[in-house]
Amino acid sequence: MPDRIFNFSPGPATLPQEVLVQAAKDIVNFNNKGIGLIELSHRSKEFMAVADEAEKLLRELMAIPDNYKVLFLQGGASTQFAMVPMNLLSKGQKASYLNTGTWAKKAIKEANLIAEAHVAYSSEESSFNHVPKNGEYSVDPAAEYLYFVSNNTIYGTQFAEFPKSEKMLVCDMSSDILSRKFDIKPFGLVFAGAQKNMGPAGVTVVIIRDDLLDRAPATVPTMLRYKTHADKDSMFNTPPCFAIYIVGLVCKWLKANGGVEAMEKRNKEKAAILYGMIDSTDFYRGHAQVDSRSLMNVTFNLPSPELEAEFIAQAGKEGLDGLKGHRSIGGCRASIYNAFPREGVLALVDFMKRFEKANS
């Protein structure tokens, strides 16, 4: 087995090799200061510089205007399912949600505990194999925002174009943030767990428009208020220091490799290679409808569950790891996030050809 396998895991996902090498050094001795990065006080000037640079790079890469706060929070993206309505809705208010997968469904459940979630669209009856086009759903006129998940890791679907609405948009971008350019101005809030495209598990990035910080009802607990963290530059309590540091390193890597625009081009090329293989044969069948296909998570099936199990096992022996589909739908899934190399996609396609020939 080689030192580095190809990691198709949906998250925690593969990170750039140079980021891992640098992090390994800095854990032991950060900037030759005789102390490891994960031992630094979060209030030290050294770590404050780390956090400031991570925020600065995110703002630059995503073209985030000054009237948005960038927060580094804990609790994973799942905590945001509740924090969003807790901060943006009061009792009796409602928001519209697009139900396009497991994570949207969980967010709807949390919102209904706090206010009212109006389900403007659902693709559940078709096993979440597509996302809606503009015009295929109706946002409640009384809704405070329209919530959607930009990329659905489990089902391999993605919004090629973001929804358009007179209401402000709120988006869970956990699995495709930094993978393509977009205009953040229609969004009131964007959040993303880091462990797909930005870094390790442990930090969730929240980008929130300034005017929304004072909307939380007085009953919202201190730690669950965005304003608490915005007022203290994410340092109200000890933040996930190591994860923030890795986000900064990944952003440096991304900038050095052409930024988001260049990464979007590479992501499209990688996905085209893999989908091309799937479309060239009846042996492999994609789960997502063609116009809803994800550039990040490619989901597919083989003729039988038994063949799928054998495919996953043999692929693992060849250093192609993490191809098992989510337990809720089975099948196979290849996650090819920003840091996943083109060479890994080519290696998978080669294996798919050989496996099909041996089992047809």
Nearest Cα neighbor of 19 from 338, 344, 349, 353 is 338
pLDDT at 360: 87
Question: Scanning the structure block, which residue is given the tokens 């087995």?
Answer: 1
Domain ranges across the chain: 18-256, 258-359
User: Do residues 123 and 131 lie in contact, with contact meaning Cβ atoms separated by under 8 Å?
Assistant: yes
Distance, CA of 177 to CA of 145 (rounded, Å): 20
Phi then psi for 273, rounded to 5 degrees? Answer: -65, -45
Q: Please list the pLDDT of the chain residue by residue as tens digits (360 residues).
A: 468 999 999 999 999 999 999 999 999 999 999 999 999 999 999 999 999 999 999 999 999 999 999 999 999 999 999 999 999 999 899 999 999 999 999 999 999 999 999 999 999 999 999 999 999 999 999 999 999 999 999 999 999 999 999 999 999 999 999 999 999 999 999 999 999 999 999 999 999 999 999 999 999 999 999 999 999 999 999 999 999 999 999 999 999 999 999 999 999 999 999 999 999 999 999 999 999 999 999 999 999 999 999 999 999 999 999 999 998 889 999 999 999 999 999 999 999 999 999 998
* Helix extents (H) in 158-304: 226-231, 241-256, 259-279
Residues with catalytic function? 103, 172, 196
Tokens for 188, please give them: 């009131």
User: Do residues 30 and 36 lie in contact, with contact meaning Cβ atoms separated by under 8 Å?
Assistant: yes
User: Do residues 70 and 205 lie in contact, with contact meaning Cβ atoms separated by under 8 Å?
Assistant: yes
CATH architecture for residues 18-256: 3-Layer(aba) Sandwich (3.40)
Distance, CA of 293 to CA of 273 (rounded, Å): 13
Pairing of strands 187-193, 204-209: antiparallel
User: Do residues 284 and 277 lie in contact, with contact meaning Cβ atoms separated by under 8 Å?
Assistant: yes
Question: Scanning the structure block, which residue is given the tokens 């004072």?
Answer: 214
Within 8 A by CB and 6+ apart from 252, the residues are: 57
Within 8 A by CB and 6+ apart from 258, the residues are: none
pTM reported for the whole predicted model: 0.97
Distance, CA of 357 to CA of 230 (rounded, Å): 56
Question: Scanning the structure block, which residue is given the tokens 């949390």?
Answer: 110
DSSP lists the bridge partners of residue 182 as: none
pLDDT at 2: 60
pLDDT at 157: 98
DSSP 275-310: HHHHHT-SSSEESS-GGGB-SSEEEEE-SSHHHHHH
Nearest Cα neighbor of 61 from 174, 240, 197 is 197
Q: Which CATH number fits domain 258-359: 3.40.640.10, 3.90.1150.10, 1.10.260.40, 3.40.50.720?
A: 3.90.1150.10
